[in-house]
Amino acid sequence: MYCQNCQKKEATIHLTEITDGLRTETHLCEHCAQEEGIAVKSQLSINELLSSLLASQPSDDEVFGDSKQNISCPHCGSTLEQFTKDAVLGCPYDYEVFGKSLLPLIKKAHNGKKTHCGKVPSKASTGTKEQIELMKLRQELKAAVQNEDYELAAELRDKINQREK
Amino acid sequence: MKLTDISGNVNEWFDGSGPLADIVISSRIRLARNIAGHKFLSRCSAAEKSEILKKLRDMLMSLELGEKIFYLSVDKTSLLGRHFLVERHLISRHHAFGKGPRGAVIARREFFTAMINEEDHLRIQVLKGGCQLSQCYEQINHIDDMIEQKVDYAFSPRYGYLTACPTNLGTGIRVSVMLHLPALKMTGQIEKFLNATRDMGLAVRGLFGEGSEAAGDFYQISNQATLGVSESDIISLFENAIIPEIVEYENAARNQLLSKEPEVLDDKIARAMALLRNAHLISSQEALFLLSHLRMGINMREHMGASTPAIEKLSELSDASRGTDKSETLSIRTINRLFMLTQPAHLQLNCGKQLGPERRDALRAEIIRSALNG
């Protein structure tokens, strides 16, 4: 069945209304249904998610009593407001400049995680590599303890101690 | 290389080969990377975008991939050409219809693509047929290592690879498998399955067609979280937990159809066969759904030894076309080929001219009829 509005797309939203005993049926495609304000969007768009997340935390204004919310990145000129519109950041430094405001969003997007534990470019300094390796080991240790795998936990603890020497 | 050099054939990753290919069509891994010292694209001027494009294009074209690669200037490619690249899963919709200087580097056999100036400066992907995620990662990791020798990536010890959108942060990896799940759909279990995968924090999308609907019962499942979990952990979750479970459910649903509702199964297959062999106008949406049922029938015969009246008919069909001394037989390969080649941009590119929807529906029906009538 085609959408009765645009006559082009398959109708996937079927609405039956009964007003004063009178029954009317409406068959629309998702697009037209949204235009009519009938359909419930299946997923929040990234922009909506961003706005709601950034809005739900106390703004820096409230915390610091200044207008930090309006700061822009000295490297690219981006602002948080711009980010909530575009859903993309302006430059790599934004992660530092807006770090505090972005953190809840980052955690939300990555199941509560906030530190990298994957591949490291071979060009990265040895310090960086060791740091990441250590973080990864600590995470594994935590998981091993949670799973009550004490043998593995002891092994991991030894590895961590060795690296920290 | 011209697009018509590849448009007449099906991509290697979609030729029906590879482990578990009756259910897992293909595996794909994509990495998102940005170049240190440049702004992200939303803040770049056209000049800076061109500079990044040139730098990355020259670097990529100098890579030794053991395979011919070619470069496409996406912003200078025709609209039809861009639709074709999307249909073929070589570039994303975002890249095809975006703005500004942007390009793609594509390996001749299409297992590797790099998109330059998509949402991030660089997005590379490796695609393989069947369930081959580890092999995809091995290859893309190697390519990533080679690239890393030539450019500096934006990277932070805390957040890993820095991406324009924080949702790709960390490993920048997107692991996807394309699945064909017709029996879960027919037995009414698909919603349950979709909800379960979403609960696991995975994204589910359709493989073909535009909207979010999974036309032809093809689904694409991908990880969403990229930070705080290693590449190998994500891949192992897919290979050892997610994929085996889905394959088991789909196989159970196919067995359930065979044992409890053989008429329902046969009705779908026989109707699909009758329509596809006789229709003179067929939309791409309808073709996808009908071909999906044929694909399931052939796979049930080949992988489960199923033998119902409609499946037997299907095998006669295949024998008949073998007898005509044609190199193409009604194999999964032929069906996959029809899926790919009857998409709108493929049809138009292959016949050398733009066609309106009705002409496309006629041509599509003609191609399918001739493939299925021997």
CA dihedral over A89, A95, A98, A99, signed as positive or negative: positive
Question: pLDDT truncated to tens, each residue of chain B (374 aa)?
Answer: 788 888 888 888 888 888 998 999 999 999 999 999 899 999 999 999 999 999 999 999 999 988 899 999 999 999 999 999 999 999 999 999 999 999 999 999 999 999 999 999 999 999 999 999 999 999 999 999 999 999 999 999 899 999 999 999 999 999 999 999 999 999 999 988 888 888 888 988 887 655 556 777 999 999 999 999 999 999 999 999 999 999 999 999 999 999 999 999 999 999 999 999 999 999 998 999 999 999 999 999 988 988 899 998 888 875 444 445 444 457 888 898 899 999 999 999 999 999 999 999 999 999 999 989 86
Place of tokens 């957040």: B159
Q: According to the model, what pLDDT value does residue B281 have?
A: 97
pTM tops 0.90: no
List the alpha helices (DSSP H) in chain B.
4-7, 46-61, 79-87, 93-96, 133-150, 182-186, 190-199, 231-237, 243-260, 262-278, 284-304, 309-323, 332-341, 344-351, 357-372
Instruction: Supply φ then ψ for residue A15, to 5 degrees.
Output: -115, 130
Amino acid sitting at position B255: N
Convert the pLDDT of each residue in A18-74 to its tens digit.
766 677 778 888 778 777 766 554 455 566 666 666 666 554 444 443 445 578 888
Report yes or no: B353 at the A interface, CB cutoff 8 Å.
no
Residue B349's identity, in one-letter code, is: L
* Chain A positions in Cβ-Cβ contact with residue B153 (cut-off 8 Å): 121
Distance from CA of A144 to the nearest CA of B (A): 15
Q: Is the distance from CB of B161 to CB of B155 less than 8 angstroms?
A: yes
Q: Which one-letter amino acid corresponds to residue A144? A: A
Q: How far apart are the first and last CA of chain A?
A: 70
User: Chain A residue with minimal CA distance to B228?
Assistant: A116
Q: Is the minimum CB–CB distance between B325 and chain A shorter than 8 Å?
A: no
Tokens for B334, please give them. 């032929």
Q: Which ipTM score applies to this complex?
A: 0.85
Contacts of B52 (CB under 8 A, 6+ apart): B35, B38, B44, B116, B117, B121
Q: Nearest C-alpha of chain A: how many angstroms from B163?
A: 7
Of B154, B158, B285, the CB nearest to A115: B158
What are the CA-CA distances from residue B270 to residues B309, B312, B315, B366 (Å)?
9, 10, 12, 19
H helix or E strand, kind and range, residue B129: strand B122-129
The residue among B54, B24, B27, B195 whose CA lies nearest residue B126 is B27
Contact between residue B310 and residue B332 where contact means Cβ atoms under 8 Å apart: no
Q: Is B212 on the interface with A (CB under 8 A)?
A: yes
Closest CA to A69 of A77, A58, A60, A78: A60
Residues 6+ apart with CB under 8 A from B374: B317, B320, B321, B323, B324, B326
Q: How distant is the Cα of A4 from the closest Cα of chain B, in angstroms?
A: 18
Report yes or no: A119 at the B interface, CB cutoff 8 Å: yes
The DSSP symbol for B153 reads B
